[in-house]
Amino acid sequence: MAPEEAECFARGEAWKLPEEVVARMVIGAWLLEDYVPGEMLDSLAGRYRIAVPAAAFPGLPPGERLLRIVRGLRAAWQPGDQGELTLSELLPGWAVERLRPLPGYEAYLETLASRPWLWLRCQTSGVERVRRELEAAGLTVRSHPRVARALAVTGGTVNLYTLELYRQGLIEVQDLASQAIALAAAPRRGQRWFDACAGAGGKTLALAELMERTGTVVAGDIRAYKLEDLRKRARRAGFPNIMTRPWDGKKISGRQAANFDGVLVDAPCSCSGVWRRNPDGRWSTSAADVDAMFPIQREVLHNAAPAVRPGGVLIYATCSIFPSENEAVAADFLAAHPEFTPEAFAHPLTGAPVASGMLAIDGGEDNSDSMFVARFRRR
């Protein structure tokens, strides 16, 4: 693959690549699965004139020769019985070193062998109607025992974005852990909130819904195209209480200082909490990438905090599993800002008390992503 093609693939734009490049990647992916029959490879290799040396395993068709070659390479890369691979090999070595000392490490490894469910958030009190229509579309639907508007869907081949439920703004695709962040924020009717790193606005919409579409949620982000996506989502769902405002991450001052009942900082992070859903992220993220997050997160949290009025709430969240991006950032913030104190809250998914005001949401418990949330109160 040429450098420009590799860059295109890394940006998630495989559709821009030449067909032959995509075919080679498909073949490579198939070869990592031992069940692919040689004749399937024959078809692709022949179509795109992918040559397999005839001298390698003579007498066999090209596809079978390719399988034999790659299996031999795999054996050379990983000597020994391939059946004895351990779950820790689902992570890069640097991540194993950092996560192994943490509580729940072995259970976390078990979850990596499967993807989490796809979770929806109902933007209507008519949850049973939503369930019926999803089931009629061929989906298996599960409710969450504590979060009434959270539904997990599995099975079926329907594109959710084509459903009338989605077009009417009655459902949003939002992981359960992400929904839990908004629930931990617990905004109230008529309040004024600032979603500082809103992105495309999943948590913005959740905050606005929890406020029963009253008050105001101001969504900020440095990326204008993300805010445009958010505006489209808000219009589709009919939210009257959402505003967007570019925010470049600089310290809040002037009229916006102490102007909000609550501020949510869903900070840039390593996205390691979604490694179950996006396993390629385990191998495209380095230890240096994780270490580079701390100063960014510290700055963003420090610069957004002045927007909280006295008596208001500040929420810090990431979709990371590394303490250096979570508890370490929260502790650093509290040491530098004595005007804020951690505030206890109830675990949104279990009801258990979170006395420290800091919660690592374990995706294995509810088949979701993993996230971290800290709740602070300004004196």
Domain presence at residue 132: yes
Domain presence at residue 102: no
Confidence of residue 2 (pLDDT cuts 50, 70, 90): very low
Does one domain contain both 369 and 300? yes
Confidence of residue 88 (pLDDT cuts 50, 70, 90): confident
Does one domain contain both 19 and 159? no
Confidence of residue 29 (pLDDT cuts 50, 70, 90): low
The predicted pLDDT at position 89 comes to 83
Q: What is the CATH number of the domain that holds 130?
A: 3.30.70.1170
Mean of per-residue pLDDT scores for the chain: 87
Q: What is the mean pLDDT of residues 106-121?
A: 91
Domain presence at residue 100: no
Does one domain contain both 188 and 316? yes
Does one domain contain both 218 and 143? no
The predicted pLDDT at position 1 comes to 42
Q: What is the CATH number of the domain that holds 216?
A: 3.40.50.150
Residue 14 confidence (pLDDT) above 50: no
Does one domain contain both 167 and 53? no
Q: Report if pTM > 0.85.
A: no
Does one domain contain both 355 and 262? yes
For residue 60, give the amino acid letter: L
Does one domain contain both 353 and 232? yes
Confidence of residue 263 (pLDDT cuts 50, 70, 90): very high
**Nearest Cα residue to 198 out of 236, 227, 241:** 227
**Nearest Cα residue to 266 out of 178, 174, 345, 334:** 178
**Nearest Cα residue to 68 out of 52, 85, 45:** 52
Domain presence at residue 90: no
Domain presence at residue 30: yes
Residue ending a domain, choose from 173, 192, 212: 173
Domain presence at residue 59: yes
Residue 319 is a catalytic residue: yes
Does one domain contain both 238 and 354? yes
Dump pLDDT digits (tens) for 307-329: 999 999 999 999 999 999 999 99
Does one domain contain both 168 and 260? no
The predicted pLDDT at position 12 comes to 47
Domain presence at residue 187: yes
Residue 352 confidence (pLDDT) above 80: yes
Domain presence at residue 93: no
Does one domain contain both 147 and 180? no
Determine the structural domain holding residue 37 and report its residue range.
3-85
Residue 74 confidence (pLDDT) above 60: no
Q: What is the mean pLDDT of residues 285-295?
A: 97
Among 16-20, 62-66, 181-185, the range of highest mean pLDDT: 181-185
User: Using an 8 Å Cβ cutoff, are 234 and 169 in contact?
Assistant: no
Dump pLDDT digits (tens) for 187-229: 999 999 999 999 989 999 999 999 999 999 999 999 999 999 9
Does one domain contain both 168 and 189? no
Q: How far apart are CA 15 and CA 45, in angstroms?
A: 20
* More confidently predicted of 144 and 49: 144
Confidence of residue 7 (pLDDT cuts 50, 70, 90): very low
**Nearest Cα residue to 217 out of 238, 236, 195, 232:** 195
User: Using an 8 Å Cβ cutoff, are 38 and 52 in contact?
Assistant: no
Residue 241 confidence (pLDDT) above 90: yes
Q: What is the mean pLDDT of residues 167-186?
A: 97
Q: How many structural domains comprise the chain?
A: 3
Rg for the chain, CA atoms, rounded:
24
The predicted pLDDT at position 362 comes to 95
Q: List, in order, residues 6 or more apart from 130 with CB less than 8 Å away.
A: 120, 122, 124, 151, 165, 170, 171
Residue 222 phi, psi (nearest 5)? -80, -15
Residue ending a domain, choose from 65, 85, 105: 85
Does one domain contain both 205 and 312? yes
**Nearest Cα residue to 363 out of 177, 179, 202:** 177
Residue ending a domain, choose from 138, 173, 208: 173
The predicted pLDDT at position 87 comes to 80
Catalytic residue among 8, 122, 269, 319: 319
Task: Tell how far CA 309 is from the center of its chain.
Answer: 30
Q: What is the mean pLDDT of residues 100-109?
A: 93
In order of 51, 64, 79, 355, the CA distances from 56 in angstroms are 11, 10, 21, 64
Q: What is the mean pLDDT of residues 256-275?
A: 97
